[in-house]
């Protein structure tokens, strides 16, 4: 399988990009990796890169986006930070990836049993980690279905917070970036949230935070985020 060229990237829609990731994850689950000549891909990308998607994921060593979605060199932008949170630098990187480098889809990818989320649930304070975990606290407080054992010992609570954090992050990207918001409105890019199961290897995409403007998503609506 060859790496993405400029012409191939240009022909990709946000929906096609999403389907490519879904197909790649299916190959990963069944251990049917696409046949790639990685050295050839090194040579193919010497003079440029044309990734079709941008994945924001956690630094967890088990959650490499290239492996999970069975992608090669030059196929995706991979942004990694504990707890898959966003800040100004990350959003700026996404603006570069989409507006300047042509990426067609942003995926916010959380994962099960996330250590950063557990730390936030336990209100851990430790050096610079304290500020990072504070960005997860809104999801902790938003989780209102758990009344007892609201800490990392409660696996259901942890997974609920992880899900909420992904969905909040998707909305935060759109709210904080006029550039990306307009690209979504114009159908140039899509943004979606997803969760990776570290036990099965499967990625679940969240339809209720899927912002892809096309005929397959008649429920598309950014207006609700502005209220």
High-pLDDT (> 70) share of the chain, %: 98
Residue 224: pLDDT band with limits 50, 70, 90 = low
The pLDDT of residue 227 is above 60: no
Residue 143: pLDDT band with limits 50, 70, 90 = very high
Beta pairing, strands 105-111 & 76-80: unpaired
**Arithmetic mean of pLDDT, 210-218:** 89
For the stretch 151-166, pLDDT in tens is: 999 999 999 999 999 9
**Arithmetic mean of pLDDT, 3-7:** 82
The pLDDT of residue 218 is above 60: yes
What is the b/e burial string over 147-166, where b = at least 16 CB atoms within 10 angstroms of the residue's CB? eeebebeeeebbbbbbbbbb
High-pLDDT (> 90) share of the chain, %: 81
- Determine the pLDDT at residue 45: 78
115 within 8 A of 161, measured Cβ to Cβ: no
- Distance separating alpha carbons of residues 212 and 191, to the nearest angstrom: 7
- Determine the pLDDT at residue 182: 97
Predicted TM-score (pTM) of the model is 0.94
- Determine the pLDDT at residue 1: 74
For the stretch 41-92, pLDDT in tens is: 888 778 889 999 999 999 999 999 999 999 988 899 999 999 999 999 999 9
CATH 3.40.1050.10 for domain 6-212, yes or no, is yes
E strands of 52-168, at which residues? 53-57, 76-80, 105-111
For the stretch 9-26, pLDDT in tens is: 899 999 999 999 999 999
Location of structure tokens 């009344």 = 147
The pLDDT of residue 2 is above 80: no
- Determine the pLDDT at residue 186: 95
- Distance separating alpha carbons of residues 48 and 5, to the nearest angstrom: 9
Closest CA to 213 of 184, 174, 192: 184
The pLDDT of residue 226 is above 70: no
- Determine the pLDDT at residue 219: 74
**Domain residue ranges of the chain, discontinuous segments joined by +:** 6-212
Chain-wide mean pLDDT for the chain?
94
Tokens of 95: 């603006």
Tokens of 206: 């969240």
82 within 8 A of 116, measured Cβ to Cβ: yes
């Amino acid at each position: 399988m060859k790496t993405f060229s400029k012409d191939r990237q240009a022909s990709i829609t946000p929906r096609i990009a999403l389907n490519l990731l879904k197909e790649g994850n299916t190959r990963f689950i069944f251990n049917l990796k696409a046949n790639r000549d990685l050295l050839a891909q090194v040579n193919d990308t010497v003079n440029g890169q044309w990734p079709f998607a941008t994945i924001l994921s956690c630094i967890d060593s088990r959650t490499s986006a290239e492996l999970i979605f069975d992608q090669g060199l030059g196929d995706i932008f991979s942004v990694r930070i504990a707890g898959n949170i966003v800040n100004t630098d990350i959003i700026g990187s996404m603006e570069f990836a989409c507006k300047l480098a042509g990426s067609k889809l942003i995926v916010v990818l959380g994962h099960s049993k996330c250590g950063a989320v557990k730390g936030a649930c336990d209100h851990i304070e430790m050096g610079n980690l304290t500020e990072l975990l504070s960005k997860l606290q809104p999801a902790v407080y938003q989780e209102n279905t758990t009344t007892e054992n609201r800490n990392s010992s409660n696996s259901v609570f942890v997974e609920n917070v992880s899900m909420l954090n992904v969905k909040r992050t998707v909305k935060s990207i759109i709210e904080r970036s006029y550039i990306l918001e307009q690209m979504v409105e114009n159908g140039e890019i899509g943004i979606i949230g997803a969760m990776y199961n570290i036990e099965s290897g499967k990625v679940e995409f969240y339809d209720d935070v899927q912002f892809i403007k096309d005929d397959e998503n008649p429920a598309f609506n950014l207006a609700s985020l502005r209220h």
